[in-house]
Amino acid sequence: GAGVSQTPSNKVTEKGKYVELRCDPISGHTALYWYRQSLGQGPEFLIYFQGTGAADDSGLPNDRFFAVRPEGSVSTLKIQRTERGDSAVYLCASSLQPNTEAFFGQGTRLTVV
C-alpha cells in the first residue's frame, strides 16, 4: 500500500489477556517507530527499529511490552497480561532513512476492560 497500515484499527480485550498489534510500513522504509498516545497527550515513544534490530527500546514501559521486526518490514507490538492502563491509541510510523520525515499509520485503539 501507499501508506503505513496498522491492524486492527480497534481492539477490545479483557484484562490479563495477550494482544498483538501489527504495523506494515511504507515499502522500502528502513526506520520504524512505535508510539502510545493517550487522550489529549502527545505521542509517547516506545521503540525504534532500524532494519530488523531495535535501535532504541528505552520507551517500553515494562517487560510486558515487546516488539519485533524479523524481516525488516512488518513489525508486531506484543503486550502480555494487559492492564486497564494500557488502554490508548498505539501509533506506528516509518521513514525512508533515519534523517527523513516519518509517516504515521492510522493507529490501533486498544481498550482493556
Residues within the interface to other proteins (CB under 8 A)? 33, 35, 41-45, 48, 55-56, 58-59, 89, 91, 93, 98-104, 106-107
Shortest CB 46 distance to other proteins, Å: 9
Report which residue type is found at 103: F
Query: Cβ closer to other proteins: 3 or 85?
Result: 3
Contact 64, 81 (CB under 8 A): yes
Q: In angstroms, what is the minimal distance from the CB of 16 to other proteins?
A: 27
Placement of cell 494500557 in the chain: 86
Output 4 or 79, the one with its CB closest to other proteins: 4
Sign of the Cα torsion 42, 74, 8, 14 reads negative
Q: Is the peptide bond before 8 cis (omega within 30 degrees of 0)?
A: yes
Considering the complex, what minimum distance in angstroms separates the CB of residue 27 from other proteins?
Answer: 17
